[in-house]
Amino acid sequence: MLRFIGRRLLQMIPILLVVAVIIFTLMELVPGDPVRIMLGDFATEAQVEEERERLGLNRPFLERFWEFIKGAVQLDFGVSYITKTSVSDELIERFPRTLKLALLSICVSALFGIPIGILCAIKANKLPDRIALVLTLLCNSMPSFWLALLLVLLFSVNLNWLPSGGIGGAQYYVLPVISSSIGSIAGIARQTRASMLEVIRADYVTTAKSKGLSQKAVILKHALGNALIPIITVIGGQFSFLMGGTTIVESVYSFPGLGLYIISGINNRDYPIVRGGVLYIAFTFSFIMLLIDIIYAFVDPRIRSQYSGKKKKKSKEAEAAA
């Protein structure tokens, strides 16, 4: 198991390196000159040239890339073109907020989605299930930014219960968490229902029932455990969606997290921000995906034995990557 984790952590290095290459190259190709945007339309050609020189933008591509990688390894992503402050400091300040937002949202999604899915599976095709199906369809189809706007309208503008944006105490997280988790609740509930329905008909559930276990014990102990693998997969997918989705939700609520930072970086052609932010998110995301693989192993002994086995598919893949 430890070997598996170690291998996966090693595998993350080349992936993050290539992510760095891609994001660096993409930002080079973005149309629009950062210095022009920074200095405005009235700056003279000489002023622009001077600023470019100062920021080191005139040096060759490879040299700048090497600079960037050297910094990135030490978690130093340089200085923002616009604010002239350290990007790393800003990232360290903002990262916990986004992480908190994403983790809260995924927890809320799982806490509501899984029980709703189980109830639907037990009451399959009866009234509660039908109602839940319609509701999940609605939630699945609602754009999160629109939901966010509606929530602001209701809870901030009309009722004045919650702040419409910014950062502060717990109340600043309520609306962002709701807007980003509604869609995920629906997705998780649908998957839970589907895999529970499949598992409830499995022979081993009949075996469990024929032992005299109560329905509750059958469902929670025997059925849910086996239904969890596809549910965890969906939770992983939803987490990916949420990590990316924070860009949207954060910009509606002016929530000073990574997502908003990256968007502003892109809009201002402030590349150090974008590079640093994207690498942070990619790293967190890869790390969470590793966690999910470990959770698989805890849920399913067959996967566990695969991880510890020496000549299994996973290890072959790892060797090839190294």
Find the binding residues for another protein in span 189-208 (CB under 8 A): 194, 197-198, 201-204, 206-208
Cβ proximity of 269 and 37 under 8 Å? yes
Give the amino acid at 138: L
DSSP helix/strand/coil, 275: helix
The least distance separating another protein from the CB of residue 37, rounded to whole angstroms, comes to 13
Among 185, 188, 248, 297, binds another protein (CB under 8 A): 248
DSSP helix/strand/coil, 160: coil
Q: Residue 53 and residue 252: Cα distance in Å, rounded?
A: 36
The least distance separating another protein from the CB of residue 46, rounded to whole angstroms, comes to 28
Q: Which long-range contacts (CB under 8 A, 24 or more apart) does 281-287 make?
A: 281/98, 281/243, 281/244, 282/16, 282/19, 283/12, 283/16, 284/95, 284/99, 284/243, 285/239, 285/240, 285/243, 286/12, 286/15, 286/16, 287/12
The least distance separating another protein from the CB of residue 151, rounded to whole angstroms, comes to 11
Q: Does residue 210 belong to the site contacting another protein (CB under 8 A)?
A: yes
The least distance separating another protein from the CB of residue 126, rounded to whole angstroms, comes to 10
Q: Does residue 79 belong to the site contacting another protein (CB under 8 A)?
A: no
The least distance separating another protein from the CB of residue 263, rounded to whole angstroms, comes to 6
Which residue's CB is nearer to another protein, number 88 or number 191? 191
The Cα diameter of the chain in Å comes to 85
Q: Residue 190 and residue 197: Cα distance in Å, rounded?
A: 11
Among 214, 220, 308, 309, binds another protein (CB under 8 A): 214
The least distance separating another protein from the CB of residue 232, rounded to whole angstroms, comes to 13
Among residue numbers 279 through 298, which ones bind another protein (CB under 8 A)? 281-282, 285-286
Q: Does residue 242 belong to the site contacting another protein (CB under 8 A)?
A: yes
Give the amino acid at 125: N
Query: How many residues touch another protein (CB under 8 A)?
Result: 77
Which residue's CB is nearer to another protein, number 47 or number 305? 305
Q: Residue 138 and residue 117: Cα distance in Å, rounded?
A: 15
Which residue's CB is nearer to another protein, number 112 or number 145? 145
- Provide the β-strand partners of residue 79: 86
Among residue numbers 133 through 192, which ones bind another protein (CB under 8 A)? 137-138, 140-146, 149-150, 152-153, 157
Q: Does residue 300 belong to the site contacting another protein (CB under 8 A)?
A: yes
Q: Does residue 240 belong to the site contacting another protein (CB under 8 A)?
A: yes
> CB burial class (10 A; 0-12, 13-18, 19+) of residue 250?
buried
Q: Is 85 left (phi over 0), alpha (psi -120 to 50) or beta?
A: beta
Q: Does residue 252 belong to the site contacting another protein (CB under 8 A)?
A: yes
Q: Does residue 125 belong to the site contacting another protein (CB under 8 A)?
A: yes
Among residue numbers 16 through 45, which ones bind another protein (CB under 8 A)? 16, 18-19, 22-23, 26-27, 29-31
DSSP symbol at 57: T
Q: Does residue 239 belong to the site contacting another protein (CB under 8 A)?
A: yes
Q: Which residue has the tokens 């995906």?
A: 289
The least distance separating another protein from the CB of residue 128, rounded to whole angstroms, comes to 14
Among residue numbers 218 through 237, which ones bind another protein (CB under 8 A)? 222, 225-226
